[in-house]
Structure 1
Amino acid sequence: MEKAPFFADVADGPTDGAAWWLITADGVRVRAGLWGGSKPRGTVLLFPGRTEYIEKYGRTAGDLAKRGYATLALDWRGQGISDRLTGDAMSGHVMRFTDYQHDVNAMIATAEALDLPRPWHLLAHSMGGCIGLRAVLEGLPVQSCVFSGPMWGIKISGSLRPLAWSLSWTSSKLGMGERYAPGTDPENYVLTEPFATNKLTGCPDMYQYMIDQALAYPELGLGGPSLHWLYEALRETRALAREPSPELPCLTVLGSEEDIVDPARIIERMSRWPDGRFEVIAAGRHEVLMDTPEMRGDVMELIGRFLDAPRDVAHEKSPTMDHARPVAADAQARQS
């Protein structure tokens, strides 16, 4: 495998980080990154969200390394420094949502080539949760899966949903699918949205961490999604909603203040996951893995216990939203 750039200076992760270029079955070049750890007892396959990149998960990889897990992460096609798919590098675009499975397959081939220690586990955030659910349904070789704010539905008001469908479908048919979805633009969100109104995190330090990365390496950044991406995402989330939940141990965490993905789809999915556990994180926004030290600590402890538990005794019946047990009960304590 050919070495790829790895921006350790902004990742704030374990010191052994490295990255490689992978070529997918359909000829797209994507980047994989590994924090191997010292004698790890398992590997976490980390699926980032839309606009994200390997280095953004440096601190998460550090938390996992403390528990004895290596972390293999990926820049999806069209973002990070993987191949961009249109002439506008800031446009989040994909031809078919299932094309992301080519990236997954290349990632798995890399994990096998590197002989990464098993068992393997999935940790997937936001768009990565949508890709990850499809991958699990198609036999992803993991022992368990963890989802953070998974994009099993996109938060769109009921009155605007028909318009989103019709506009995204029509634009693709008319050759305008690469245009930005309404309300989005080419700008990097963290460089234009003030901390006070951001939907990602309640921690100023973590928001500055994202800003510093974006300023140091602008090539990692991404703007809004294309209209065709929106159409493909709507199609894929609808298709996944019709699928049964996999027979695989699952933990899903969701911020109580989620405002990007659709909580109703997550609650519905977890209500019928036979070996699933659902946790609402009090005062959490979209990125509960990247919030205050207290919230991050609680969430990573929850994830760590789930990964560590013997699989024959680890699982509980998935509770409904009314019975979901918040990890952080005091919202005020979560503000830094």
Structure 2
Amino acid sequence: MEEAKYYEDIAEGPSSAGAYWIQTDDDVRLRVGAYHTEGHSKGTILLLLGRFGYIERYGRVAQSFADHGFSTVVVDWRSQGLSDRMAKDPQAGHIHSFSDYQKDVSAMMTVVESLAMPKPYYLVGVSMGACIGLRAMLDGLPVVAAAFISPMWGIKMSAVQRIAAWPLSWAARLAGQGHRYVPGESGAIYVLETPFEDNNLTHNAAMYDYWVTQAKNAPELQIGGPTMSWLFEALSECRILSSVPSPTTPCITFCGELDRLVDNDSIKARMAKWPNGEFSMIRNAKHDVLTEIPEIGGDVLSQIFAFFSKMEIQGQTHEKV
């Protein structure tokens, strides 16, 4: 590992922040961020972000984790943040295979182990990160509990869009055009192109301004829309996962009633068959319920901390027995 660039001023995260370069098994260079708590730690949160995510985007959230005694590790997925981009167009949200993200998870865990991040490990998966995280848990990711925020276990589409998405994305890949943007998408940075009043992410104006400031000061961290290859791979992974039994790891899941990006019905179906699972639909909330205003989302972070603490107490009780 080598030290990597970290934008402390725009992240507003814990002062213990560090960032590192690491190579994946397929020789992709990733950036991984780590935040240590001061004093006794309750464990480490593996924060898996969504398709727009990068380390600094949730710096304030990492600070909340630290304030409650948790260390945090977060990765820039391939084609995001400062990690290697997979297409010639650096703005393209592009991947070759959804399974490649598991190589990113493995590389992140190498950093976790190298830095001796405190155990136990907890997972917080946001949107696409929740899809990647579910797969990682099924493959044996050693977490004692998980929290999912608007998990991308299905993509929000109309019936017509869904019928067209499969053959169009498949044909684009077959014709060597998988790097092309999904129709209607471009390399534009969402938070710079979309006024707060029209955004699909949050009702929290302060958080949206925080993201806008980051985009203006570090545009190199941003990406635009997804490619046809990403769409085909994401649809395929969601379909495969829908037929797989849920793990037994305790989890709590939140989604927003007004979410226009992920399919809430897929989330409900998953949680209905998740043993040790809790589910909360946040009324009038948009996609990023983790950052919603208290009047709408309540305090999702506090609910996550309470859930993780409950799991810790149960684990200690079990060990004594």
TM-score w.r.t. the length of structure 1 is: 0.91
1:259 counterpart = 2:252: no
Tell me the residue number matched to 2:36.
36
Partner of 1:191: 192
- State the alpha-carbon separation in 1 of the partners of residues 277 and 150 from structure 2: 15
Residues 148-197 of structure 1: CA deviation (Å, up to 9, x unaligned): 00100000111221100010000000011110001211101000011111
Matching residue of 1:126: 127
| Aligned partners of 2:32 and 2:55 also within 8 Å | yes
Shift of 1:204: 1.2
Instruction: Supply the distance in 1 between the matched residues of 2:313 and 2:158 (Cα, whole angstroms).
Output: 41
Mapping of 1:162-181 within 5 angstroms? 162-181=163-182
Alpha-carbon distance in 2 for matches of 1:141, 1:92: 28
Q: Once the 2 structures are TM-superposed, how far is the Cα of residue 76 of structure 1 from its aligned partner? A: 0.1
1:321 aligns with none
Residue number in structure 2 paired with 1:24: 24
Please show how residues 266-285 of structure 1 align to structure 2 within 5 Å: 266-285=267-286
Equivalent position of 1:15 in the other structure: 15
Deviations 1:124-145 (A, max 9, x none): 1001011001000000011011
The worse-fitting range, judged by mean Cα deviation, of 73-82 and 285-294 is 285-294
2: CA distance between counterparts of 1:294 and 1:310?
A: 27
Counterpart code for 2:238:
T
Count of residues paired in the alignment? 314
Contact 1:206 1:292 in 2 (8 A): no
Look up the match of 1:300. Answer: 301
Task: Please state whether the residue corresponding to 2:299 is helix, strand or coil.
Answer: helix
Counterpart of 1:234?
235
Structure 1, gaps ≥5 residues long: 315-336
- SS of match in other structure, 2:59: helix
1:63 is matched with 64
What RMSD in Å do the two structures reach over aligned CA positions?
Answer: 1.3
Amino acid at match of 1:8: E
Instruction: Please give the alpha-carbon distance, in whole angstroms, between the structure 1 residues aligned to 2:183 and 2:114.
Output: 42
Aligned to 2:83: 82
Are the counterparts in 1 of residues 282 and 297 from structure 2 also a CA contact under 8 Å?
A: no
**Aligned residue type for 1:78:** S
Q: CA deviation at 1:203?
A: 1.3
Distance, in Å, in 1 between the alignment partners of 2:311 and 2:265 is 30
One-letter amino acid of the structure 1 residue matched with residue 13 of structure 2? G
Flag structure 2 segments of 5+ consecutive residues without an equivalent. Answer: 316-321
Q: Distance in 2 between matches of 1:12 and 1:293?
A: 20
Deviation at 1:37, TM superposition (A): 1.3
Q: 1:211 and 2:212 equivalent? A: yes
C-alpha change, 1:148 and 1:303, in structure 2 (3 Å) is same
Match of 2:319 in 1: none
Shift of 1:41: 2.0
Q: Deviations over 1:43-86 (max 9, x none)?
A: 00000100210101111111111110001001000111100011
1:101 Cα deviation (Å)? 0.2
Secondary structure at the counterpart of residue 254 of structure 2:
strand
Please state whether the residue corresponding to 1:26 is helix, strand or coil.
coil
Q: Distance in 1 between matches of 2:247 and 2:17?
A: 32
